Chains A and B, each alone.
Chain A
């Protein structure tokens, strides 16, 4: 719209001209929407749908056979074990780090914040490599571990460690901004009223952050179950023993059993969809809690 339209409020065009002052012409609007949707389709929708289509291409029997296969079952079990150990550990860390950072003022806080983000900027492959350098046979503890008949690399402990590394920041990153926005007044009030440290945490802090906590756990879990690069380096790819679901997909895919690979992949894609739904629901609650925190401060 040009400025000329705006100077003609009496010409019967007024409502339309005014609306157009802060929105685009319909053809611009629909072109932009179409472009955005086309881009999303090529890179998101089609790949997602493809996983399920390819998985069921050869029918239900092949699909089920691929999932109940002994190697697939052991891969599923290992993936669950890795997530069950790494998520709770990172949860405890996230709460501890968020408590220190959000509720206290101390020297080096920004350094700690940067360190928490560090694993996000390290390539997963390098995350695996550093544990090989520490625990591998050529590594710092390699000989000691061998003498004591312990295995970390090419075994389950290595897989768990690599998973912890890549999922390390998720819970802390969700909690810190919310707890910082909430401030310390409620906790201080509880403290003055005689609450012990644990009472304070369980009754005041935790109810205030429970949705953000859940949100962090959901993201952490999704990444823990789906991690590929870091786990690939430390796993050794021993079928039935040190293969997680993503690694199992790779092996089966490289053997040209595409339907079977996509069948196991469809389980992870299903998990991703559940994650997105939970994320959407929880995100609304987190926003509400964050708004509540801001209103109280104002």
Chain B
């Protein structure tokens, strides 16, 4: 009853508020909050100098550059092609469209380890696609990029698609009557409406790519200073029983994730407002 008295804003005849909220809060605390706080508390066993060394040594810095750089590049490519795929799926009719639409979600459903070994096989030097490329993909930073494009692909398509579906044709007709070319209509009418959703999808793909592990480690080659992502470095430190060092890097990643989560929440609120206003 404490929860009802302190938290409930409006009286309701429906039962079960205490039980439902109480259980949800207990479960979140046990599974998420208490273990996560362990990561932050563990770093307090380090002095500031130790924390700084653990999180800014050259090998760690190289992994940040790769993780953030490859995630950013992959999210950018996903934003471009995600918008294209969403546009094609919403606007055009062609053979096999439903199949393509259903397959967009494959990276959500396919285990990352399976995706990892499949991509490695295809983009290896003697692989189906790799043998036709003039540069090496598997076991290089480019491989990391390819894996991150794979796992981030559905985010942009699935956030942009509903916005394009709801777009009213009258706006485009109005633009056409006023003499706009198709490109001008897209550039000045459609794109501004889609933009908040596109940015949200981009941020979601970037956030997912940043923490990704399974699909990357097979294709990356995992060379220290060259193709070693930050999550792998955390595991390496753990295997050396350097728990404090691993946790320090994890805390840096967690803070980056939380900032991204806040940005994504703000973007989604903006997108809702933008859509509601039309």
Residues of A at the B interface (CB closer than 8 Å) are: 1-3, 6, 21-25, 28-29, 32-33, 35-37, 39-40, 42-48, 50-51, 54, 89, 92-93, 95-97, 99-100, 103-108, 112, 114-126, 129-134, 136, 138-140, 161, 164-165, 168, 184, 187-188, 191-192, 196-197, 200-201, 219, 222-223, 225-229, 232-233, 245-247, 249-250, 253, 258, 261-262, 265, 268-269, 271-273, 275-277, 279-280
How far is A253 from B149 in the complex, measured between Cα atoms in Å?
23
Q: Known contacts A123-B213, A125-B234, A261-B117; can you find 7 more A-B pairs with CB under 8 A? A: A6-B179, A40-B104, A44-B106, A46-B122, A100-B24, A124-B231, A129-B247
Q: Using known A-B contacts A2-B181, A125-B211, A225-B111, determine if residue A131 contacts B35 with beta carbons closer than 8 Å.
A: yes
B73 at the binding interface (Cβ < 8 Å): no
> Contact between B8 and A188 (Cβ–Cβ < 8 Å)?
no
* Stretch of B53-61, B86-94, B193-201 lying at the A interface: B86-94
**Of B23, B102, B129, B246, the contact of A46 (CB 8 Å cutoff):** B129
Task: Find the B residue at minimum CB distance from A129.
Answer: B250
B191 at the binding interface (Cβ < 8 Å): no
Interface SS, A side: helix
B160 at the binding interface (Cβ < 8 Å): no
> Contact between A123 and B211 (Cβ–Cβ < 8 Å)?
yes
* Residues 120-176 (chain B) with a chain A CB within 8 angstroms: 121-122, 128-129, 146, 149-150, 153, 169, 172-173, 176
How far is A167 from B42 in the complex, measured between Cα atoms in Å?
25
Least Cβ–Cβ distance between A63 and chain B, in angstroms: 15
**Of A93, A121, A124, A269, the contact of B27 (CB 8 Å cutoff):** A93
Least Cβ–Cβ distance between B12 and chain A, in angstroms: 6
> Contact between B31 and A164 (Cβ–Cβ < 8 Å)?
yes
**Of A187, A226, A247, A272, the contact of B14 (CB 8 Å cutoff):** A187
> Contact between A29 and B92 (Cβ–Cβ < 8 Å)?
yes
Q: Which residues of A contact B92 (CB under 8 A)?
A: 29, 32-33
Q: Which residues of A contact B172 (CB under 8 A)?
A: 21-22
| Size band of the interface chain B makes with A | 35 or more
Residues of B at the A interface (CB closer than 8 Å) are: 3, 6-10, 12-17, 19-21, 23-25, 27-28, 31-36, 38-39, 42, 81, 84-85, 87-89, 91-92, 94, 98, 100, 102-115, 117-119, 121-122, 128-129, 146, 149-150, 153, 169, 172-173, 176-177, 179, 181-182, 207-208, 210-214, 218, 231-232, 234-235, 238, 241, 243, 246-247, 250, 253-254, 257-258, 260-261, 264-265
Least Cβ–Cβ distance between A150 and chain B, in angstroms: 17
How far is A259 from B48 in the complex, measured between Cα atoms in Å?
49
Q: Which residues of B contact A131 (CB under 8 A)?
A: 35
Q: Using known A-B contacts A36-B84, A233-B238, determine if residue A228 contacts B35 with beta carbons closer than 8 Å.
A: no
**Of B109, B121, B238, the contact of A129 (CB 8 Å cutoff):** B238
> Contact between A268 and B111 (Cβ–Cβ < 8 Å)?
yes
How far is A117 from B268 in the complex, measured between Cα atoms in Å?
13
Among A25, A48, A116, A229, max chain B CB count under 10 A is at A229
How far is A114 from B257 in the complex, measured between Cα atoms in Å?
13
How far is A177 from B53 in the complex, measured between Cα atoms in Å?
45
> Contact between B112 and A114 (Cβ–Cβ < 8 Å)?
no
How far is A99 from B218 in the complex, measured between Cα atoms in Å?
42
> Contact between B9 and A106 (Cβ–Cβ < 8 Å)?
yes
> Contact between B234 and A130 (Cβ–Cβ < 8 Å)?
no
Q: Which residues of A contact B176 (CB under 8 A)?
A: 1, 6, 21-22
**Of B106, B111, B214, the contact of A48 (CB 8 Å cutoff):** B106
**Of B17, B38, B115, B149, the contact of A130 (CB 8 Å cutoff):** B38
Least Cβ–Cβ distance between B55 and chain A, in angstroms: 14
> Contact between B238 and A104 (Cβ–Cβ < 8 Å)?
no
Q: Which residues of A contact B257 (CB under 8 A)?
A: 121-123
Least Cβ–Cβ distance between A94 and chain B, in angstroms: 9
How far is A27 from B246 in the complex, measured between Cα atoms in Å?
54
How far is A60 from B23 in the complex, measured between Cα atoms in Å?
49
Q: Which residues of A contact B119 (CB under 8 A)?
A: 47
**Of A32, A36, A51, the contact of B118 (CB 8 Å cutoff):** A51
Q: Which residues of A contact B247 (CB under 8 A)?
A: 129, 133
Among A33, A115, A131, max chain B CB count under 10 A is at A33
Q: Which residues of B contact A116 (CB under 8 A)?
A: 28
> Contact between A276 and B234 (Cβ–Cβ < 8 Å)?
no
How far is A136 from B242 in the complex, measured between Cα atoms in Å?
13
Q: Which residues of B contact A129 (CB under 8 A)?
A: 39, 234, 238, 246-247, 250
How far is A233 from B182 in the complex, measured between Cα atoms in Å?
52
Task: Find the B residue at minimum CB distance from A230.
Answer: B213
**Of B91, B169, B207, B234, the contact of A126 (CB 8 Å cutoff):** B234
> Contact between B81 and A228 (Cβ–Cβ < 8 Å)?
no
Q: Which residues of B contact A192 (CB under 8 A)?
A: 13
Q: Which residues of A contact B94 (CB under 8 A)?
A: 33
